[in-house]
Amino acid sequence: MPELAPALHAALADFAAHERVLVALDFDGTMSPLVDRPQDARPLPASAAAFEQLATSPGVYTAVVSGRNLQSLNQAYPEPRPEICIGSHGAERLLPEQLGAHWHDEPLSTKQLQLLKELTGRLEQIAAAHANVTVEHKPSATVLHVRQAAPDTALKALAQAKAALQQLDGVALLEGKAVLEATVHHGDKGQSLQWLREVLDVQAVLFVGDDVTDENGFKVLGTADLGIKVGAGPTVATYSIPSPAELPDLLNILIFMRH
C-alpha cells in the first residue's frame, strides 16, 4: 500500500470504519489535472478505475460533484461514471431511479431566464473584446474562462466582468481558478452534499476538491466527515494532498480499508 501522511491515514481509517459512507469527488483539478481547454480534461485513468472499484464496496456511495454542466461532464468523463453526478454546482443532478424521486428539478422562472440572457450578453461582449477569453453556457449560468489568455488580459477581463455583473440583482458570482461563473441558481456544492447525506442516509461524507467553489463543500462537513483539498492555497479542509496524481493512492487505501 502507498503511504499517506500519518494524520491523514488515521483520519481515513476513522472514516472507513463507518457502515454507510459517501465519497464525493470534484472533477477538474481533482479527478482530472487542470488543462487550458475544459473540453480536453479527462480523469486520470488510475483515479477513474479506483473510483469505479470503490463503488462496489458494500455501504459505499460514490458521486461526482462538479461545477461543470452535466453535458460537459459526460463528454470529459467517459463511462463508466458514478450513478450520482451533480453538475453546475447542484443545479443539475443525475441520479439512479430510486433517488430520482427525491429530486425535482425546478425550471427557471421568466425573470431568471431574462436575467440569464442579460448576464450572458454582457459576458459575451467582454469575451469578444479580449484575446483567448471565452464563455461557457450552462442551463442556469454562464462562465467566463481566462486560462488561455495572457495574465494581464485575464485580470482585466475578470475585473470588467465583475464590474458589469455585480449590480444585477439575483445573479451570484462564483470565482474559481481562471474562471468567473455568473449564475441565477443559488445552490452550491455544500448544499448538494448535505442533500446527498440526507437522501442516502450515510453516517459520514468524504469530499475531495481543489477550487475556491469547493470550499462550500468543505464548510458543511462535520466531525465524522473528511475534507481533503487538492493542491496548495487557503482552505477550511482539514487535510490536503499535493495534486490529482495522489488521488488514486488515497482511493486505493480506502478500498483496502473497506475490505
pLDDT tens-digit map of 165-180? 988 999 999 998 899 9
Which of 196, 183, 178 has its CA nearest to residue 89? 183
Which distant-in-sequence residues (6+ apart) come within 8 Å of 3 by Cβ? 9
Q: Which three cell numbers stand for residue 87?
A: 453538475
pLDDT tens-digit map of 241-258? 999 999 999 999 999 999
Extended strands (E) in 59-212: 60-65, 84-87, 92-94, 134-137, 141-145, 172-176, 179-183, 204-209
pLDDT tens-digit map of 135-171? 999 889 999 999 999 999 999 999 999 999 988 999 9
Q: Tally DSSP H helices, then E strands, for the chain.
A: 9, 11
Q: Is the pLDDT of residue 132 over 70?
A: yes
H-helix or E-strand spanning residue 49: helix 45-54
Q: At 225, is the pLDDT very low, low, confident or very high (cuts 50, 70, 90)?
A: very high
- B/e letters for 164-192, b = 16+ CB within 10 Å, e = fewer, are bbeeeeebbebebebbbbbbbbebbbbbb
Bridge-based pairing of strands 179-183 and 60-65 is unpaired
Q: How many CB atoms lie within 10 A of CB 111?
A: 11
Q: Is the pLDDT of residue 228 over 60?
A: yes
